[in-house]
Structure formats: structure tokens, C-alpha cells
A and B are shown apart, each in its own frame.
Chain A
Amino acid sequence: MGEVKHIDQQIALVKAIKSNDEMVLKKLYQENFRKVEVHIIKNKGSVPQAKDIYQEAFLAMYQNIKEDKFVPRNETALQGYLFQISKNKWTDFLRSSQFKKTTHIPDGLQLKEETSSNGSELRQENDQKELNAIHAFQKMGTECKKLLEVFYFQKKSLREIASLFDIGEASARNKKYRCIQKLRALVLATNS
């Protein structure tokens, strides 16, 4: 986002992401993909790999923003942060056994060991739990998915949801709780 010039705008950007402003998310996603793609392809990657890595990185950036782990320090901080996460994830992949098994790396092209971008084991455990929750949600029925999306992602009020689904407010509230219980059961099944 070349036009983002001031740190105030970065702070506004972070705020917009926290409230899931879809236009902002889309702009951020679309404007930063090519740079990551070029980096990955220039470093032995493929087009689908570039997409996968970028989406993983974008999700990680999003989660870190939600948890206040990212604080903008300069005018292109978030864009740089997104690129850095992508780069680290790709470096990790190149170093992983999965990559080494399938690819012959000519001598002299191996990457030098650097400190890994992975955090502590606790961090990885939390990431895994979150991924399980994502997969559990994906398995839910359409109605629950829609209701939970409108409330938790689009941040609509119960009153708005009630009119959207054409039900009473109390009924919307109970439905939401029942959907959450279903999701919880699915998460428990995934974790065990």
C-alpha cells in the first residue's frame, strides 16, 4: 500500500483488521501477494506453493494482530511484517525434510542456517489448537456457519442477526449458543 504514509494510517489499518473490515483485508491481501510470489518463485518455489505460503502468512499476521502481538513502528510496517512472515515460512519450508526429500539442491545453493522463525513449543501448541478449531468450524452445517460468521466475523448485533434470519432475538441468542456447543464438540473430537 504505497499511499500509506503515516503511522496513524498504520494504526487505523490495524484497527480495521481487528474489526474484520473486508475491503481493507482484501486490499492488503491483493497488494502484497505479488511481491511474495516473486520471492518464492525466484527461490525454487512453484505458483501453488507461493499461494499456500502467502495464505499461511496472512493468517498468522491476522492472528498476531488480534492478539496485539504486532505494533506498527513505521509507515509500511504491516506490509513489511507480512512479507517477512512469508519469507520466514518459505525459508523454513526449504529447510524442512519435506523439501529435501523431493528436491535435489545443487552444491553451493543450500541455505545457510539462520535462527528459525518458529517460536517456542507453546506457541506451536497454540497454533495447532487454533488450526483444529478452524478445521472443526469448516465441518459445521451451513446454518451454524452462517450464524457464527455474522456474529463473530461480521460483528453484527443480535438484533441485526434476528432480523437477518427472520427469528426473534432470544431465539437467535439460543441458536448461537447451540452452534457454539456443536463447534466445541467438534473441536474436542479433533483434539482427542
Chain B
Amino acid sequence: MNTENNISQELFETIEGYLMGTLSESEKAQFESQLQADPILQQQVSDVKTMLSGIEGAILKDRMEVFHEEIESNANSIPEPIKKPRRTLYYGLGFAASLALFAMLYFGPFSENANKSLYDTYFEPDPGLPTTMGSTSDFEFYDAMVDYKKGDFNAAISKWETLPNGTKGDTLTYFLGVAHLANTNETKAIEYLAPLSQQPNPAFAKETQYYLGLAYLKKNDTVNAKRALEASGTPGALKILAELNQ
């Protein structure tokens, strides 16, 4: 952009009209023939064009931030395992934390500590199902769900494990897996969740992969953890994957 090529208001408005397509046919034809013969005018048109697309680009950038925030807040309204406050600390430590993480990665891909700490940061048991206990046939299942929601995973597991296979379809298997994981028994969790994840159309498909990924993470099996988290694809799973990638 050249300082000497100052643009008068009149000229500016003609160029603007030309670029925005608001000139009449005759004005346009006249302007174009002028333009062909005048390199300074060509430069001025190009400068104005850059400015106008800069204005639009800057406003689009603002809008994109708003669009993006909406995606994030929509994602948060889906029941997704809630982050523990510890993660804020992670971010708070900022650079130091990433340096530490980097150092850990440098001295051996995903040391046990790094995986455990990721697990601790992200694991929150599934909030559970609403316990209305409307139909009596499901009474035992929901009775155990009350224990699960109270955090008494041992009680929930022992009640659920006495129910016949296939009660509530995949739902029982899924909650047994999550309850075992919450009860710090990741091996048992995998026994329930891994076969469930292989089924063609399980209920809670994404959630099953998510908790399976977390169980593998706790077992320090990064390869399987990544595979399950990728298959899950939930925002929570992607966040953990992203940290595994860093």
C-alpha cells in the first residue's frame, strides 16, 4: 500500500461501488476502461479490496469465537464426565506443567505416573440413571442404582452381580463396568467393558469406549487406552487423547 496514492472520498466511493457490485452498468464499463489504462488506480483498487476483506475477515473472526463457545457449552450440557478441579490446577501451572509433562514424555513415552495422573484428573463415574422405580420388575436394578449414586459401589456391584445376565440389556453390563472402575478395580472393569465394546450396537457405545479407555489408562496400557478413546470420540475422550498426544 502506497502512501502517495491517497484516495479522495469520491474516488473511494467509486472503487467501493465497483468492488461491492453497486455501480450501474455504464458506470462500471467506464470505470473498467479507466482501470485498464491506469496502474495507480489498479493499485488503489487492490488496496481498498484488501481493506474491505480485512474488515469482513476481522468480523468473521469475532463471530467464530461466539460460534465456538456455543459448541463448547453445548458439549458441556451433554452428560459427560465432569472434570475435577485438579485440571484447573494443571492449566494454572501452565508452562511449568507442560514442561514437566514434556520431560516425562522425553524420558520414556507415558510413564506410569503420567497416565495415572491423567486418569485421576478425568475419571468421574457415570452420573447413573434416574431412579424412579416405576416398574417392579426393575426394582433390584434401580435399588442398586441408588447405592451406586450414593457412591457405595461395593453394595451396587454385589446387588447387580446377582441379577440374571441380560437384565436391562447392555445397561447392566455397562454400569457394572463403571462401578468396578469407580471401585478402583480396573481389571474387573475391563472384563465387563471390553466385550461390551465389541458388540455391534451396544447401548452407551461411546461411554463404554470412554470408560474402557480410562480403565486401560489406569492400567498404564497407553496403546489400548488411545484406541478406545479414539473409538469413543466424545469431547471428554478427545480431551484426554489430546493430552496423551502432547
Q: Interface on A for B, CB 8 Å cutoff?
A: 20, 22, 25-26, 29-30, 33-34, 37-38, 41-42, 44-47, 50-51, 55, 58-59, 62-63, 66, 102, 104, 106, 126, 129-130, 132-134, 136-138, 148-149, 152-153, 173-174, 177, 180, 183-184, 187-188, 191
| B127 contact set on A, CB distance < 8 A | none
Residues 39-55 of B at the A interface (beta carbon under 8 Å) = 47, 50-55
Establish whether residues A152 and B238, one from each chain, have CB atoms under 8 Å apart when the complex forms.
no
Across the interface, B54 reaches (CB within 8 A) one of A25, A37, A137, namely A137
| B67 contact set on A, CB distance < 8 A | 25-26, 29-30
A152/B245 contact (C-beta < 8 A), A59-B61, A177-B12 known? no
Q: List 13 A-B contacts (CB under 8 A).
A: A29-B67, A45-B242, A45-B245, A47-B238, A59-B64, A62-B57, A129-B1, A133-B58, A134-B57, A152-B52, A153-B60, A184-B51, A187-B50
Residues 227-243 of B at the A interface (beta carbon under 8 Å) = 230, 233, 238-239, 241-243
With both beta carbons as reference points, the residue of chain A lying nearest to B66 in the complex is identified as A26
Establish whether residues A132 and B242, one from each chain, have CB atoms under 8 Å apart when the complex forms.
no
Complex-state Cα separation, A177 to B13, whole angstroms: 8
Complex-state Cα separation, A147 to B155, whole angstroms: 65
| A26 contact set on B, CB distance < 8 A | 63, 67, 70
* B interface bracket (residues with beta carbon within 8 Å of A): 35 or more
Beyond contacts A55-B64, A129-B50: 7 other A-B pairs, Cβ-Cβ < 8 A, are A41-B245, A46-B245, A133-B50, A137-B55, A177-B12, A187-B51, A187-B54
Establish whether residues B61 and A55, one from each chain, have CB atoms under 8 Å apart when the complex forms.
yes
Establish whether residues B56 and A29, one from each chain, have CB atoms under 8 Å apart when the complex forms.
no
Complex-state Cα separation, A130 to B53, whole angstroms: 7
Complex-state Cα separation, A191 to B63, whole angstroms: 25
Across the interface, B238 reaches (CB within 8 A) one of A38, A134, A187, namely A38
Complex-state Cα separation, A129 to B51, whole angstroms: 9
| B50 contact set on A, CB distance < 8 A | 126, 129-130, 133, 187
Q: Could you say which of A25, A29, A50, A102 has the most chain B C-beta atoms within 10 Å of its C-beta?
A: A29
Asked if B37 lies at the interface with its beta carbon under 8 angstroms from chain A, I say: no
Establish whether residues B71 and A47, one from each chain, have CB atoms under 8 Å apart when the complex forms.
no
Establish whether residues A33 and B245, one from each chain, have CB atoms under 8 Å apart when the complex forms.
no
Asked if B106 lies at the interface with its beta carbon under 8 angstroms from chain A, I say: yes
Complex-state Cα separation, A67 to B237, whole angstroms: 39
Complex-state Cα separation, A62 to B60, whole angstroms: 9
Establish whether residues B56 and A46, one from each chain, have CB atoms under 8 Å apart when the complex forms.
no
| A137 contact set on B, CB distance < 8 A | 54-55, 58
With both beta carbons as reference points, the residue of chain A lying nearest to B65 in the complex is identified as A55
Asked if B3 lies at the interface with its beta carbon under 8 angstroms from chain A, I say: yes
Asked if B150 lies at the interface with its beta carbon under 8 angstroms from chain A, I say: no
Complex-state Cα separation, A184 to B245, whole angstroms: 43
Establish whether residues A188 and B71, one from each chain, have CB atoms under 8 Å apart when the complex forms.
no
Establish whether residues B59 and A37, one from each chain, have CB atoms under 8 Å apart when the complex forms.
no
Asked if B35 lies at the interface with its beta carbon under 8 angstroms from chain A, I say: no
